[in-house]
Amino acid sequence: DAKTTQPNSMESNEEEPVHLPCNHSTISGTDYIHWYRQLPSQGPEYVIHGLTSNVNNRMASLAIAEDRKSSTLILHRATLRDAAVYYCTPTTGNQFYFGTGTSLTVIP
Amino acid sequence: DGGITQSPKYLFRKEGQNVTLSCEQNLNHDAMYWYRQDPGQGLRLIYYSQIVNDFQKGDIAEGYSVSREKKESFPLTVTSAQKNPTAFYLCASSKLDRATNEKLFFGSGTQLSVL
């Protein structure tokens, strides 16, 4: 199973970009990389996912390294609503592995 | 509105008692999952099901049981064999499409505590 390494916590000023890194060095060639975020006492919410090339949606951008051993979630302008725990989850055969994630604090 | 409904939101279990957590989805998803989350920890997979009347164990299935008699329902029973059941339980579902690897949709969770 692919395992992940993420910083335990990060801080960002409001309205500044945030780059959340994730290492997944044991990922297999067919694993997608998903990102989810979770507010306290709530279920996680899907953010973005990709396989090889960079991806953009209305919430964020996902930059995937050429060797696929790492990826970076980019929030272009952090808001207070973006404060959450962010999980990077490689998927193997529709099984999703969730590590401990990165707790993002947004400073007003 | 389409989505996943978990109930109850809070549940208390007495020692030696079995309790069942409900999970219903109206998204017409084939796959359903149960995760356990302990404070400050990530999510650990308990069981998952990709088709009616079939399910597979995840990483921490001991002390839990599930059934999948209908596509839209995937209840989880926490048995008396689970000695440390206090945790936040999350149900999720997804389409099954290996070409695009569909995303997970989560319910709002059930907090289980032991009396």
Q: Tens of pLDDT along B17-76?
A: 999 999 999 999 999 999 999 988 889 999 999 999 999 999 999 999 999 999 999 999
pLDDT-derived band at B79 (thresholds 50, 70, 90) equals: very high
pLDDT-derived band at A100 (thresholds 50, 70, 90) equals: confident
Between B41 and B6, name the one with better pLDDT.
Answer: B6
Asked whether residue A53 carries a pLDDT value surpassing 70, the answer given is: yes
Q: What is the Cα–Cα distance from A13 to A3, expressed in whole angstroms?
A: 29
- CB-based contact, A101 to chain B, within 8 Å: yes
| Radius of gyration, alpha carbons of chain B | 14
- Confidence (pLDDT) at A1: 52
pLDDT-derived band at B98 (thresholds 50, 70, 90) equals: low
Minimal C-alpha gap between A4 and chain B (Å): 11
CB contact under 8 A, B42 and A91: no
Asked whether residue A79 carries a pLDDT value surpassing 60, the answer given is: yes
- Confidence (pLDDT) at B100: 64
Candidates B42, B90, B94; nearest CB to A99: B42
- Confidence (pLDDT) at A98: 87
- Confidence (pLDDT) at A33: 92
CB contact under 8 A, B40 and A100: yes
- Confidence (pLDDT) at B99: 63
Contacts 24+ apart (CB under 8 A), B81-88: B85/B13, B85/B19, B85/B112, B85/B114, B86/B112, B86/B113, B86/B114, B87/B36, B87/B37, B87/B38, B87/B112, B88/A41, B88/B36, B88/B37, B88/B38, B88/B112
- Confidence (pLDDT) at A2: 55
Between B16 and A18, name the one with better pLDDT.
Answer: A18
Which residues in chain B are closer than 8 Å to A43, comparing Cβ atoms? 4, 90, 92, 106-109
Average pLDDT score over chain A: 91
Which of B4, B32, B36, B43 should one mutate to test binding to chain A, selecting the residue with the greatest count of A CBs within 10 A? B43
Point out the least confidently predicted range of A25-29, A46-50, B32-36, B96-100. B96-100
